[in-house]
Amino acid sequence: MILTAILITFLSSLLPFLFAKAEKIQGWLVALIPTTLLASFISLDVLNKGNIVESNSWLPELGLNINFYIDGLSSLFIYLILGMGIYIFAYANGYMKNYKGKSRFYSYLIVFMAAMLGLVSAGNMILLFVFWELTSISSFLLISFFHDKEDSRKSALQALLITGIGGLAILGGVIIIGAEAGSYEIQDWINNVDTIISGKYSSAGLILILLGAFTKSAQFPFHFWLPNAMAAPTPVSAYLHSATMVKAGVFLLLRVGPIFSSTELWQTVLPISGSITFLLGAFFACVQTDLKKIFAYTTISSLGVLVMLIGIDTDLSIKAAFMFLLVHSLYKGALFMLAGIIDKKVGTRDIRLLGNLWTKMPLITIVGVLVLLSMAGLPPLIGFLGKEMIYEAKLQIPEVAPYMTFFSVLGNVFMVFISLYVAHMVFFRKEHKWPKEPSRAGISMAIGPFFLASLSLIFGLLPQKYIQPYLQSAITAIKPDHLDFEIHLWHGFNHVLLLSIATVAMGAILFIYHRSTIPFFTKVYHKVFVFNFSDQFFKIIDGFIGINKKIADFVQHGYQRYYLSTIFIFTAAFLWYIISQTWHSDFSIQYDSISWALAIISIIIVALSFLSLPASLHRVSVITITGGVGYAMSAIYLFYGAIDLAVTQILVDSLTVILMVLVLPKLPKLVTYTKAKGAIRDLLIASSFGIAMGVIAFMSATNPSTNKISTFFVEFSLSIAHGKNIVNVILVDFRGIDTMGEITVLVLASLGIYSLLKIKKTH
C-alpha cells in the first residue's frame, strides 16, 4: 500500500505536463497531489492506530526488501513534507509565472516529494539510501533549473557532489553495520543494539553514516553548499533547502539514534559539530546582505542546533529537538517565501536597498514580523517554546552544562539580532533604494507565508491542543520509555526564562548599535575567515579533473591501431594464463568423423585469411575478403543447422560492407611500416593472440566441459519457454537481461555516433 502510494507519487510527476495548458492555475492543480496524499495519510491515523509496517520482497537473497515502517517520527516528517508541499506548489504558481519550463519544474518537485516520502518511511536501510540519493538528484535538477547561468550549474554540481559523496558514505556505513547485525532492517538493528555496538567495525560504520547525515544537513565543514544552493528558484529554497531535504540528515540521526546514542563517538562528535555549526552559521548570517543568503546561514545554524540536541541525547533534548524541528520549518519556510515575494515585487533581495516596505505592503510586513519574532524566539510565537526547551535541555546536562548553555545563549543572541536587523532593514527604516515601485503580491504567493505564520502563532498559543500528541508519538519512536510530554507557553518564572530575557536583551543591544556592530562583524569575518570553503572545493575538483585529464590523454591517445594492440595484448595475456592453468595434452580428435564439406569450408576460410595479408595495403580488398570470410563462416553455421546464426551473420556482413563504404573516405591513409621493429612487434602481438585463440578452441573442442548449460537450454526450451527455436528462446527469455543490456548499449552507441557526426558541424 505504501509502496503503491509512493510509486503513484513518482508517476504523478508526469501530471504537470498534462496541466501545461492551464498555465494560470498549474501550480494550484499540482498542489492537489500533496493535498490528496495528505488527506489519505491523515485517514491512516498513525497516531491512534499504531505504526504501519509493510513488507515487499525485492532481492530477498541479499536481504534487501522494500519494507516500510511508519512510526511517530516518520509521521511528523510526512506531515511536514506534504503540508509544506501544498503551500510551496501554490506559491510556485505565482512565483514561476513568467518562467519557461514550468512543467519540468513542478515535475522535479514532485519527484523530490516522492523521494522524500520514501526516505522517511523506509524500513530498510538500503532502501533509505536509494531514496536518499533520489533526493540529492532532484535537488541537483532543481538548483540547476536556471541552467543557462554558470552560477546555477556550479552550485548544483557542488551540492550534488557533496550530498552524493555523503550518500555513498551512508551506503558504506549501512553495509558495515548490516554485516555486524546480519540484516539491513532498521527494526533488526534496534533489536540487536548490543551486538552492533560491540562489533569490531561498527564505529567505522557509524562515522560513515554520520558523514552522510552531516553533508546532507550542511554541518560544518560541509556547510558551504547550502548558501550556494540559493541559486535555485525560491520555492525550492523554501521547500528543499530549509524545510525538508536538509532535515533528512537530522531524520537519519534520529532514526539510528536508538542504536548509537550510547556510544562515546555519538556523544562527543554530534554536540561539538552541532555547536560549531550553530555558532558559525549565526555569525556568517550577520555579515550577509542577500536576504536568501541570510536565511540560508540561519538554516545552517538551526541544523547545528538540531544535531547538537540529538547528540546530547537526554529525554529533554530529544523533546527540544522535535519542537525546534517543527518551529524552524514553520518560520524558515515562511521567511524564504517572503524573500521571494520581496524579490519579485521590489526587484531586489539586497537588504541595503530595501526598506520602508511597511508603507507599501502592510499585510506582508505583519506576516514577516510574526515569523521573524518566531525566529528570534519571542513569545507568544512557537519559536519561544522551542528556545525555552533548548535552554532547559542544556541546563540539565551533567558536567558540561555551563559551556553548552553559554554557546547556546551566544548563538541565540545572534538570532535575535538578525531577526531585529532584518525586520528593521526590510520593513521599517525610512531610507530605501527600490529598483522598482513595490506592487501587491497575489493571493497565490501570499497564502503560504500567511498560513505558516498563523500556525506559528496558533501553535505557540495552544501547544497542548495541536502539536503535543504528534510530538509525543514522534518521541516515543526514539525514546520508548519516555512518557510524559507537556508543553506550555508559560513555564513560570525560572532561570530558563531569565536566560531568555538576557538573550533578548543582548540581541536588542547589538541591534540598537547595529551601525557599528555590522561593520565590526564584517571586518572580523574578512580577517578571520580568509579560507573560502566553496572556492577550495572547486580547486580540489579542478585538480582532480586535471589529474584525470593527464591519465586520459595517456590512455586515450586516439590511435585506433594502438587501441587494438592494447586490447589484443591484454586478451592474449589473459588467454595464455587460462591455457597455462588448464593445460592438458589429451587431444583426441576423431579425424574421420569430420565431413568433407566442413573441411572445404574451413580451407576456404583459411585461404581467404592468408589472401588478406598481401591485400592489406588496400582497404577495399581487405573489406571484401573479410566479407567473404563472414559468408564462409555462415556456411559453417548452416552446416550445423544454426540457421538463425547464419542469417544473422550474412545480414550483419552485408550491412557492415555498406557502413565501411560510407566511412572509407573518412579514414586516414594506411600506414606502412618504416622500420622492421614495428612489423616484428605487430607480428608478435597478432600471432600470440591468434595462437592463443586457436589453442583455446582446440582445448574446448577436445575436452568438453561436463557442466554444460546448453543441455539445459535444449531440455527446457520447449517445456518451459514454449519455443522450438532455441537461439531465439535464449535471446528473448533465458538470457533476456543480456539482450536487454545489448540493445541498451546499441542505443547508447547510436547517441555517441549522433553527437560525433552532428556536433562537429556546429564548430
Partner 1 sequence: MNTTLLQLAAKFIRSIMLVASVFILLRGHNAPGGGFIGGLLASAGIVIYTIAFYSLPLLSKTLRTIAPLRIVGLILALGSGILGLIFGESFLHAQWFKLNIPILGTIDLSTPLLFDIGVYLAVIGVMVMVILLLMEDRKWN
**Binding residues for partner 1 (CB under 8 A):** 643-644, 647-648, 651-652, 654-655, 658-659, 662-663, 665-666, 721-725, 727-729, 731-733, 736-737, 739-740, 743-744, 746-747, 749-750, 753-754, 757-758
Residue placing its CB nearer to partner 1 in the complex, 492 or 752 = 752
**Least distance from partner 1 to the Cβ atom of residue 667, Å:** 12
In this structure, which amino acid lies at residue 234? T
Nearer to partner 1, 676 or 737 (CB): 737
Q: Please report how close the Cβ of residue 661 comes to partner 1 at its closest, in angstroms.
A: 8
Do residues 55 and 65 lie in contact, with contact meaning Cβ atoms separated by under 8 Å?
Answer: yes
Sign, Cα dihedral of 109, 114, 115, 119: positive
52 touches 69 (CB < 8 A) = yes
The residue among 603 and 652 lying less far from partner 1, judged by its C-beta, is 652
Task: Pick between residue 268 and residue 654 the one whose CB is nearest to partner 1.
Answer: 654
Minimum CB distance to partner 1, residue 642 (Å): 9
Cβ distance to partner 1 smaller for residue 676 or 759: 759
668-674-677-679 Cα dihedral, nearest 10 degrees: 50
Identity of the residue, 237 or 717, whose beta carbon is nearer to partner 1 in the bound complex: 717
194 alpha-carbon distance from chain centroid:
31
Rounded least distance, CB 63 to partner 1, Å: 17
| Segment holding 426, helix H or strand E | none
Assess contact for 450 and 444: CB atoms under 8 A: no
Dist. CA 486–CA 472, nearest whole Å: 9
Residue closer to partner 1 (CB basis): 691 or 731: 731
Minimum CB distance to partner 1, residue 2 (Å): 17
| Least CB distance to partner 1 at residue 383 (A) | 48
Count CB atoms within 10 A of the CB of residue 46: 20
Nearer to partner 1, 501 or 753 (CB): 753
Ramachandran area for residue 50 (φ above 0: left; ψ -120 to 50: alpha; else beta) = left
Distance CA 715, CA 258 (A): 54
Query: Contact 298/415 with Cβ under 8 angstroms?
Result: yes
Nearer to partner 1, 595 or 750 (CB): 750
Instruction: Please give the torsion angle defined by the CA atoms of residues 78, 81, 87 and 90, in that order, rounded to the nearest 10 degrees.
Output: -110
The least distance separating partner 1 from the CB of residue 271, rounded to whole angstroms, comes to: 46
Distance CA 197, CA 190 (A): 11
Helix, strand, or coil (residue 68): strand
Contact by Cβ (8 Å): 614, 622: no
Rounded to the nearest 10°, the torsion over CA 558, 561, 562, 566 is 120
* CA 386 – CA 402 distance, rounded (Å): 19
The minimum distance between CB 54 and partner 1, in angstroms, equals 16
492 — alpha (psi -120 to 50), left (phi > 0) or beta? left
Smaller CB distance to partner 1: residue 532 or 744? 744
Of 316, 287, 313, 285, the closest CA to residue 412 belongs to 285
Long-range contacts, 531-534 (Cβ 8 Å, 24+): 533/221, 533/223, 533/224, 534/158, 534/224, 534/225, 534/228
In the bound state with partner 1, the residue whose beta carbon lies nearer, of 551 and 652, is 652
Least distance CB 645 / partner 1 (angstroms): 9
Least Cβ distance, residue 731 to partner 1 (angstroms): 6
Quick check: helix, strand or coil at residue 124?
strand
Q: In 3-state terms, what secondary structure has residue 314? A: coil
The per-residue DSSP string of 702-758 comes to HS--SS-HHHHHHHHHHHTT--S-HHHHIIIIITHHHHHHHHHHHHHHHHHHHHHHH
CA distance 228 to 151: 9
Cβ at position 445, least distance to partner 1 in Å:
39
Q: Least distance to partner 1 from the beta carbon of 750, Å?
A: 4
Our CB check for partner 1 shows the closer of 92 and 650 to be: 650
Name the E strands within 8-87: 52-59, 64-70
Q: How far is the CB of 644 from partner 1 (least distance, A)?
A: 5
Say how far apart CA 206 and CA 263 lie, in whole Å: 10
Judged by beta carbon, residue 204 or residue 660, the one nearer partner 1 is 660
Q: Is 591 helix (H, G, I), strand (E, B) or coil?
A: helix
Cα(283)–Cα(651) distance, integer angstroms: 71
**Which C-beta is closer to partner 1: that of 536 or that of 654?**
654
Question: Minimal distance in Å, beta carbon 651 to partner 1?
Answer: 4
Quickly tell me which residue has 581467404 as its cell.
608
